Structure 1
Amino acid sequence: MLESTPEAAAPLVVVAGEVLADLITSEPTDDLGGAAVFERHAGGSPANLASNLARLGVPVALVASVGDDGLGQFLTAAAERVGVDARFAVRDEPTSLVAVARSAGTPDFVAYRTADRLLWPSQLPDALLRRARLFHTSGFALSREPARATLLDAAARTRALGLAVSIDVNFAPDTDVRRAHQQDAARRVLALSPLVKCSRDDLTRLWGRDAASDDAAVGHLLGLGASLVCLTRGADGALVAWDDDLVEVPAEPVEAADVTGAGDAFWAGFLAAWLAGQDPSDCARAGARMAARKLTHVGPLPDAVDAAAVLGAA
């Protein structure tokens, strides 16, 4: 059951989607099959985003489903510790898990999905959405029912209320989810003029030949209705497009210890700056600074982040 009533919160951002226990290999590897020791961390793209926004001082509510088990308690406690309002989580089936290879490049991973897909309309009433400025979700969360229907409806209602929508198009191959099914969900959200974050890997997996080049990928998403697209490109930095503008923002020079969650850190920095009224290019620079902090840590960022240093306009 819900752990509080939605009317109790007044977040600036409502984040809805997967909360996962990340089991990250203790040693760097390109192959999960050779790993023997894993470390437990809080994960899930929306959960990472919510926690990173809270670290930057942004009031945020997390709508999710976790297990009624020790891992579920660990995940909600981790979010609450950094200031996320996690009272809108439900406890249901066992907590979802993801095994992840620690890597400086695109990591190998395997998802074991249970509770994360169980999101219901009662968790996202208008009373909660209308008190925020932004609603965010992810492509991963949109891949399974009933979360898919719940999140598509919430995104549409958010726009009807005159508020902004954000999506991380983080498609990952899944034997139970057809590419066409995911493309349909992405198109339905893109038609709502959202702010879009995507990576090269995600777009290649989701759109195939439509993401043959960075410019083509960005143009494809803008053509489907996105109001702004931020394409993250790892060490090559980010490409930000909106209206008739296209800006390249370099990555911060750091030695990567763990890339898992770096995109979520980037988007948290971007959105925090966007909520503060910065222009998109400065938002992307804030994102790059936040991502650099994450890249030097295995697992989530430390609880304390220098928000002023991250958000200071270049």
Structure 2
Amino acid sequence: MQGQGNRQYGILSAGELLIDFISSEFASNLDEAVDFKRILGGSPANLAMNMARLGVSTKLVATIGNDDMGKYAARYVHRLGIDLHGLRAVDTPTTLILVTRSKEVSNFEAYRGADCEIVPEQMPLGQLKNIALFHTTCFALSREPARSTILQAAKLAASHGCTPSIDANFAAKIWPDQAAAQAAVKAYCGLGALVKMSEVDWERLFNHQMSDPGAAAEQLLEMGAAEVCLTMGSEGCYVATKGERHFLAARPVEVRDTTGAGDAFWSGYLTAWLDGKGLMEKAMAGRKMAELKLQHFGPLPDQVERMELYKG
């Protein structure tokens, strides 16, 4: 089933809500960066916020520190109308990430804290029965207890007709056990997931270049994924199901920062999925949302007109 149907929430996004400190100027590495701007971050949180901006009914499950940064993060997402009944505060500090502002691939260093302390009580079965999409990331799955909690919740949600979604944003400095990461991605694909993966993340996870996006997509489909979207930066994206495949070229835009562009892309794609759009239309909606983000340094406006996604 595609679309929200009669479910109360379009998406539950589970994983990291954290603080990004992004260099004010473009930098190739953190040694070059001097000044930083505080921006709310975390891929699942970014996706939840972007979908809320598009008018999707959204839940966020995350764990923050009982500190000033955690309180700031909670206030920020609350004002966007996101359901935060799954938000938990603990004594461990809120996770912080230093990020280089970049026109290509950002460099980063994570100072992990509370983000991985997600427990089953944050996602009761009643919530899981009431959502159309269950989304997470490799970052969120990289540590326990979040990994086991999220995988079990995704299985329960799928058993009740929810469609799982994952951004397989693998990085060795976040998840040094590559075999465990591959196993988790395979298990998640096996739930019939919608899978987004960048070319860079593919090469990091599988240790070889993605020379043929068709073959890369087929590998994920054979693991059980229902739909695959491979993003290839300035080239474009490749989308595939068992019966349909398309390449969509990127369009030139003035890039102010790449941080969060992948999350923006997937928020457009998943919103189009909820709206019952076809595969190519979903890719185009993702491209449109990514273009908006690439032209912004920092978060998007609090509201983004949903129909703009479908205007080409």
Partner residue of 1:4?
none
- Structure 2 counterpart of 1:42, from 12, 37, 40: 40
Q: Does 1:167 align with 2:179?
A: no
Partner AA of 2:107 in structure 1: D
Partner AA of 2:148 in structure 1: A
- Say if 2:48 and 2:59, in contact at 8 Å, map to a contact too: yes
- Say if 1:12 and 1:59, in contact at 8 Å, map to a contact too: yes
- Say if 1:249 and 1:285, in contact at 8 Å, map to a contact too: yes
Consecutive unaligned residues in structure 1, runs of 5 or more: 1-8
Cα deviation for residue 212 of structure 1 reads 4.2
Partner AA of 1:125 in structure 2: P
Cα deviation for residue 244 of structure 1 reads 2.1
Structure 1 residues 277-288: aligned runs within 5 Å: 277-288=276-287
Deviates more, 1:52-61 or 1:11-20: 11-20
Partner residue of 1:6?
none
**Distance in 2 (alpha carbons) for counterparts of 1:83 and 1:232:** 29
Cα deviation for residue 176 of structure 1 reads 5.9
Residues 313 and 157 of structure 1: is their aligned pair in 2 closer, same or farther, counting only changes over 3 Å? farther
Count of residue pairs brought into register by the alignment: 305
Partner residue of 2:86?
88
Cα deviation for residue 80 of structure 1 reads 1.7
**1:115-172 deviations in Å (ceiling 9; x for gaps):** 0000001111110010111110111100100000001101111111121100000111
- Say if 1:237 and 1:248, in contact at 8 Å, map to a contact too: yes
Consecutive unaligned residues in structure 2, runs of 5 or more: 1-6
**Distance in 2 (alpha carbons) for counterparts of 1:252 and 1:131:** 37
Partner residue of 1:251?
250
Cα deviation for residue 242 of structure 1 reads 0.7
Partner residue of 1:118?
117
Normalised by the length of structure 2, the TM-score is 0.95
- Say if 1:210 and 1:216, in contact at 8 Å, map to a contact too: no
**Distance in 2 (alpha carbons) for counterparts of 1:83 and 1:208:** 40
- Say if 2:117 and 2:146, in contact at 8 Å, map to a contact too: yes
SS in 1 for 2:9: coil
**Distance in 2 (alpha carbons) for counterparts of 1:204 and 1:117:** 25
RMSD, aligned CA: 1.4
Cα deviation for residue 24 of structure 1 reads 0.1
- Say if 1:210 and 1:220, in contact at 8 Å, map to a contact too: no
**Distance in 2 (alpha carbons) for counterparts of 1:52 and 1:175:** 24
**Distance in 1 (alpha carbons) for counterparts of 2:73 and 2:295:** 22
- Structure 2 counterpart of 1:69, from 59, 67, 70: 67
**Distance in 1 (alpha carbons) for counterparts of 2:75 and 2:238:** 35
Deviates more, 1:43-52 or 1:27-36: 27-36
Q: Does 1:141 align with 2:178?
A: no
**1:62-86 deviations in Å (ceiling 9; x for gaps):** 0000111111111122212222112
SS in 2 for 1:259: coil
Partner residue of 1:190?
189
Q: Percent of aligned positions with the same letter in both sequences?
A: 44
Q: Does 1:154 align with 2:166?
A: no
Partner residue of 1:272?
271
